[in-house]
Structure 1
Amino acid sequence: MPVPVHHPRAVRAASQSELRRLCLPAPPAHFPLVWEPGDTVELRPAAEMEARLAVLNVVLARCFGLPQEAAMGWLLASHLMDAVTEPEWHFLAAGIGDHRAFVLHLEAVYGLAWLLGICQHLDPARPSDNQLVTLLPDLRQGESYNQWRSRTLLAPRHPAEVAAVLDLYYCLDWGYLEAERIGARLPGMIDANTIGQRRWALEWAVIFHGPYHDGPAGWEEVDLST
């Protein structure tokens, strides 16, 4: 159910303060707001986010050597084929696509895990938790989707909290790219690709309602160009 969201300019001020703390360039004054006063926000259903995380986990496993038959068999047994996007299908079934781009999805998985409350932080200066792999379906040990769900305690984030983090990552995306462009020192052990992948997960999961918002975008339709 949609809930009220904090005033966008107050959230933007907090995001800019965080960029200053990290010594990152701040976006220009005309940088767009993510939402408008009076808008409401909700998250995609937890089951949909779980399915997206599980599919990306299979994609990553294929990147690191999981056989095609095992990957496709797991998805079929889990009834998740409908959650696979067309580019993912081509990669899983025939190895077609940018292998390096799919590997980067680890940080999108991390973003989804944070959204579901499986991981506790989304620190913009720290890489994903080393324990992340233990929190995902163990494909090599044959753990089924239902078994994974039964051992995983979900605590989805509040939509207004996620909206504020999305605004932060929207600004961080600009700040990291600008820092890399001018050769400035980055604040931690991650780079703009990491920030972009986390933002991808947040942009996909958050659904705003208001006069200037379209309906929710598909995974491959998320726009990170601004």
Structure 2
Amino acid sequence: MIVPAPDPREVREASLEELSRLRLPLPPRQFPLVWEPGDEIELRPTAEIEARIAVLHLILARCFGLPPQAAMSWLLASHLVEMVTPPEFQFVTGAKGDHRSFVLHHDALFSLAWVLGLTKQLDPTMPADERLVERLPNIAEGETFRQWRSRILTAPQHPADTAALLDLYYCLDWAYLEVDRVGRSMPGLVDAHAIGQRRWALEWAVILRGPYHEEPPGWEEVDLST
């Protein structure tokens, strides 16, 4: 569903109010907007987001001891091999790559779960919902991607609400890195790495349409540099 994007300045004002409430530093005046007036927004297809959740869940299972043979068997049975990025495939099959960076994907998965309505909140001061694992594929019991999809009931967020949260996490990412840089304490139980992962997932899930936007990036192509 493609819808008109909300006023980016009103959304930004709300984001800055939330930063102020959390007693976080505000980004500079020239901090760019995420979209422009007149742009349109949509979410990636639900099936694509579900597949990304399943792959990230498998990656985390590998981080915590799932053998590579079992991981590949699950991917093949679930017909998800093509949804795995090259760095992820190397990690799944040979444990190559930064183990810690893959563990951090826990918060990216949490963010995508919120997009699909599998969890009710994405509070920047609170860690991921521990009960979320009950709503993810039971890889240990051999539940395939198709079986999982038939078990869950997704209720995707409205694109405008998701875009507004993306703007908030865009600002939060800057603020948390700034707090980290100067050595201040965080306002809650979540650190800058988790905020960055949540923003990564939202950047990927929200598709922006307009004269200044390129085609939606792949998972590994999401730009978090600004």
After TM superposition, the score normalised by the length of structure 1 is 0.99
RMSD between superposed Cα atoms in Å: 0.6
The equivalent residue for 1:96 is 96
Equivalent runs, 1:47-86 vs 2, <5 Å: 47-86=47-86
Say whether residues 1:26 and 2:10 are aligned partners. Answer: no
CA distance in 2, matches of 1:144, 1:222: 28
SS at match of 2:139: coil
Deviation per CA, 1:44-82: give whole Å up to 9, x if none: 000000000001111100000001011000011111011
Structure 1 residues 114-153: aligned runs within 5 Å: 114-153=114-153
Structure 1 residue runs of 4 or more that deviate by more than 3 Å after TM superposition: none
1:11 is matched with 11
Shift of 1:36: 0.2
Q: Which residue of 1 aligns with 2:44?
A: 44
SS of residue paired to 2:42 = strand
Cα distance per residue 1:79-104 (max 9 Å; x no partner):
10110000000000111100000000
Distance in 1, Cα, partners of 2:190 & 2:163: 22
Say whether residues 1:111 and 2:108 are aligned partners. Answer: no
- TM value normalised by structure 2: 0.99
Structure 2 unmatched runs, 5+: none
State which drifts further: 66-75 or 180-189.
180-189
Shift of 1:146: 1.8
| Aligned equivalent of 1:163 | 163
Structure 2 residue 193 is the aligned partner of structure 1 residue 193: yes
- Tell me the number of residue pairs that the alignment of Structure 1 and Structure 2 aligns: 226
- SS of the aligned residue for 1:148 comes to helix
For 2:88, the aligned partner's letter is E
Aligned to 1:181: 181
Cα distance in 2 for residues equivalent to 1:2 and 1:135: 27
2:207 is matched with which residue? 207
Letter in 2 for 1:174: W
Paired residue type of 2:59:
V
Identity across the alignment (%): 64
- The alignment partner of 2:130 has SS state of coil
Partner deviation per Cα, 1:144-182 (whole Å, 9 max, x = no partner): 212211111100010010000000000000000001111
Deviation at 1:16, TM superposition (A): 0.1
